[in-house]
Every structure is written in C-alpha cells, then in structure tokens.
Amino acid sequence: STQIQLAARPTGWPTDADFSTAVVELPGLTAGQVRVVNDFISVDPYMRGRMNDVKSYIPPFVLGETMGGGAVGHVVESTVESVPVGSLVVHQYGWRDVVQEDAAGFRVVPEIPNVPASAYLGVLGMTALTAYVGLLEVAKFKEGDTVFVSGAAGAVGSMVGQIARLKGAARVIGSAGTDEKVALLTEKYGFDAAFNYKTGDIAAQLAEAAPEGIDVYFDNVGGDHLSAALGAFKDGGRAALCGAISQMNRTDGPTGVQNMVNIVTRGLTLTGFTVGNYLQHFPAFTEQMGTWFAAGDIVFDETVVDGIENAVDAFLGMLRGENTGKMVVKTSVA
Ligand code: NDP
C-alpha cells in the first residue's frame, strides 16, 4: 500500500517537504477485516487545519502517520459477509491506494450507473451535505431569500447555489476567482449573477449584483468576503459561517472584519457550524439529492488528478483554486 504521510507541520503554505511517501506491506487479513483498493481519495480544505498542532473540533494529524480523510473504493478481499468482495465502500482512511481495516470502518454504498464513484466524496457526500445543512438548517434559508455564496464554483459552493435555486430563492449570487468559473456559475449552475473577486472590489460588485441587499450569506471564504456580506445584509439577515479559506495559510494573522456594527443595527444572525454536528440530516439529504440528481436538476463538476503520487499537488492546487467543483485524486494500483 502506497501512503502519503505528514512529515512536518507547515507554517503558511504547505510544501512537498511537509509530506512523505511510505510503501507498506500489508499482512494477510485477520477475522473481521476487509481489504479495499481505493478508486478515489478526497483532498479538502479542512485537512490544512489538521496539519497544525492545535486543539480544534477534530484532532490534528499525527506526524509520521498517513493523512486521513474521505475515500471510496472496492472491496478486494473480505472476511465479513455484510461487506463482500466487489462492494463499493466509503471510508475515512485517507491518502493511500490500498487499505485494510476492520469492516466496521467501511460504509457500503450502491453503484449508480453512469455516475463515477467519486460522487460519494462530493455531490452525494460530505461537501454537498455541508451545503445542504449549512443553507437549510444553519442559515435557515426560506423561499424568496436573496442568497450570496462565496467560493461558489467549489465543491460546497456550487451545491449551495443550486440548492438555493431549487428551494425557491429570489436571487442567487456567487463569487469565484477566475472568469471561467464566474461564467460557469451563471451558465451552468443557474446563479442569477456572479463576479470575480480577484479583478474587482468585492463590496462594489456585490452591491451591483444585489441592489436590494441579501438575506443569506453562505461564507466559505471569510476576510473581505465576510466584510462585504455584512455591508450588504438586509435587516434580519443570516449567515452560515462554513469556512475561512482566505485565512488558512496566512502567516501575518487573520484580517480584520469590517461592518461588524451591522450585526447590531440590522439584527443579523451569524452561525458557525461543522457538518459533523448535522449528520442526523444525512438520510433526508440523500433522499432529496437522489431525487434532484435523477431528475437532472443538479449538475456537478469534478477536478480529477491522476495518481496517489500527485495527491499533494492536488491538495495544494485545490487550496490555490485550481479546482472547479470537487477536487479528487484517482488512485490506481499497478
Ligand atoms: P472548494 O472546492 O471550494 O475548493 C477551495 C476553493 O477555495 C478554491 O477552489 C478557490 O476557488 C477558493 N479559494 C482559495 N483561496 C481563496 C481566497 N483567498 N479567497 C477566496 N477563495 C479562495 O473546497 P470545499 O468546497 O471543499 O470547501 C469550501 C469551504 O467550505 C472551505 O472553507 C472549507 O473549509 C469549508 N468546509 C466546511 C465544512 C464544515 O463542516 N464547516 C465542511 C466542508 C468544507 P477560487 O478560484 O474561487 O479562489
């Protein structure tokens, strides 16, 4: 099994030197175990947080151990009847091409014709669930709301925009970091307006896109985006604080947030959340997403990087914005 491990704790942007590759000889299965060959592994922003040795909602990665995280693969050997050879399984054993563990660590999922297994890491998995609960439960979206979402062409953001539209938003506005992504937002994902946050002032572009203000802000980015949203809220506006990727690799401390006084004067509600505390909504999400998906109401993109040896590049590329939709690594065993 080829595995990517955490070799050092980065300050600021991680580099190749913070990771190492180990090739591990797997022993025969013991009772209760299964062996899985991964098809895809997930690279996610939260993994950058876990590289730091700080107390958080999830423990830090351990130096010298394999990077954990979502992955999907097929069972190739099994000692357990309920997880037979050939099953498609989702698990959290992360950055390795082959994994052998107790069967309890794997969730068997159905194969869906014409849908890649990687969908279980994105549109049918954690990132879309984050969009669903963040918008509907945390921000308490209601029909007729005007919604602004940052990081809108990413895995979470592209789902937030589409769910808001399907649930009857009055207007959905998104921001992203390239003109190609901005075009995709209105042309493919059904956003009503979109802008490039790198080529113009965020607050000015938001004001133009939502002249009457916004009811809901889904924050994937933090920093200037959050300041702009606070400036644009109508009275009683709600924000779901999902992530602050703009702050993640800064070494000079977080940027200050402007327009905080509007939280008072406009009676705003800002609620932070982590998806792990909303797993009770997974069945409802799966049913709703399955219906939309089958009807062709939800579209999605993935950026697929080939080869476990390129997992670090995929991870860093995602943090830099090289992905559209979910970033995944396609693994293969020679
Ligand atoms: P994405 O697929 O959105 O990938 C990350 C994107 O962030 C990049 O493509 C890039 O797009 C954008 N980005 C990078 N740097 C900046 C910056 N300085 N300013 C603005 N945008 C930037 O990742 P996910 O969809 O997986 O995650 C999106 C957010 O949601 C993250 O903040 C993540 O931490 C959070 N999250 C939170 C969860 C929770 O439970 N609370 C669960 C899952 C994710 P661009 O080209 O547009 O810059």
pLDDT tens digits for range 159-206: 999 999 999 999 999 999 999 999 999 999 999 999 999 999 999 999
Whether 177 and 35 share a structural domain = no
Closest ligand 1 atom to residue 326 Cα is 2
Average pLDDT, stretch 53-76? 97
For residue 9, the domain's CATH number is: 3.90.180.10
> What confidence tens digit (pLDDT) does each residue in 15-58 have?
999 999 999 999 999 999 999 999 999 999 999 999 999 999 99
Whether 80 and 179 share a structural domain = no
Cα radius of gyration (the chain): 20
Element counts in the chain: helices (H) and strands (E): 9, 15
Residue 83 confidence class, pLDDT cut points 50, 70, 90: very high
Whether 140 and 268 share a structural domain = yes
User: Hey, which bits of the chain come out as E strands?
Assistant: 2-6, 19-23, 33-42, 71-78, 88-91, 98-102, 107-109, 146-149, 171-176, 193-196, 214-219, 233-241, 269-272, 302-306, 326-330
In the predicted model, is pLDDT for residue 229 greater than 80?
yes
Is the C-beta atom of 130 inside 6 A of ligand 1?
A: yes
Q: Is residue 296 part of a domain?
A: no
Whether 210 and 310 share a structural domain = no
Our CA angle for 250, 255, 256, nearest 5°, is 165
Whether 149 and 264 share a structural domain = yes
Is the C-beta atom of 161 inside 6 A of ligand 1?
A: no
> Which residue minimizes the CA distance to atom 10 of ligand 1?
321
Closest ligand 1 atom to residue 247 Cα is 18
Is the C-beta atom of 243 inside 6 A of ligand 1?
A: yes
In the predicted model, is pLDDT for residue 225 greater than 80?
yes
Whether 132 and 264 share a structural domain = yes
Whether 135 and 224 share a structural domain = yes
pLDDT at 142: 98
Average pLDDT, stretch 122-143? 98
CA distance 331 to 318: 17
Whether 114 and 133 share a structural domain = no
Determine if the pTM surpasses 0.95.
yes
Of all residues in the chain, the percent with pLDDT exceeding 90 is: 97
User: Which structural domain, as residue segments, surrounds residue 55?
Assistant: 2-122+301-330
Contact (Cβ atoms closer than 8 angstroms) between residue 305 and residue 317 = yes
Is the C-beta atom of 222 inside 6 A of ligand 1?
A: no
Q: Measured in angstroms, how far is the CA atom of residue 320 from the centroid of ligand 1?
A: 9
pLDDT at 104: 98
Separation of CA 55 from chain center = 21
Is the C-beta atom of 249 inside 6 A of ligand 1?
A: no
Q: Measured in angstroms, how far is the CA atom of residue 88 from the centroid of ligand 1?
A: 27
β-pair partners for 108:
89
- What is the ipTM metric for this complex? 0.99
> Which residue minimizes the CA distance to atom 15 of ligand 1?
246
Count the Cβ atoms, other than its own, within 10 Å of residue 38: 26
DSSP state of 274: -
Whether 85 and 192 share a structural domain = no
Whether 324 and 253 share a structural domain = no
Average pLDDT, stretch 210-230? 98
Is the C-beta atom of 310 inside 6 A of ligand 1?
A: no
Residue 332 confidence class, pLDDT cut points 50, 70, 90: confident
- 3-class secondary structure per residue, 200-244: CCHHHHHHHHCCCCEEEEEECCCHHHHHHHHHHEEEEEEEEECCC
What mean pLDDT is reported for the chain? 97
Whether 237 and 324 share a structural domain = no
Whether 151 and 260 share a structural domain = yes
Q: Name which of 329, 269, 287 is nearest 305 in CA terms.
A: 329
Is the C-beta atom of 245 inside 6 A of ligand 1?
A: yes
Is the C-beta atom of 324 inside 6 A of ligand 1?
A: no
> What confidence tens digit (pLDDT) does each residue in 278-314 have?
999 999 999 999 999 889 999 999 999 999 999 999 9
Candidates 51, 127, 156, 250: which one to mutate for ligand 1, based on the most atoms within 8 Å of Cβ? 156
Q: Is residue 287 part of a domain?
A: no
Tokens matching residue 221: 């980015």
Is the C-beta atom of 127 inside 6 A of ligand 1?
A: yes
pLDDT at 318: 98
Q: Measured in angstroms, how far is the CA atom of residue 154 from the centroid of ligand 1?
A: 6
> Which residue minimizes the CA distance to atom 19 of ligand 1?
246
pLDDT at 294: 87
Q: Measured in angstroms, how far is the CA atom of residue 177 from the centroid of ligand 1?
A: 11
Task: Please give the tally of structural domains in the chain.
Answer: 2
Residue 334 confidence class, pLDDT cut points 50, 70, 90: low
Contact (Cβ atoms closer than 8 angstroms) between residue 3 and residue 24 = yes
For the residues of 73-116, what is the DSSP string, one character each?
EEEEEES-TTS-TT-EEEESB-SBSEEEEEGGG-EEE---TTS-
Candidates 13, 196, 225, 245: which one to mutate for ligand 1, based on the most atoms within 8 Å of Cβ? 245
For residue 241, the domain's CATH number is: 3.40.50.720
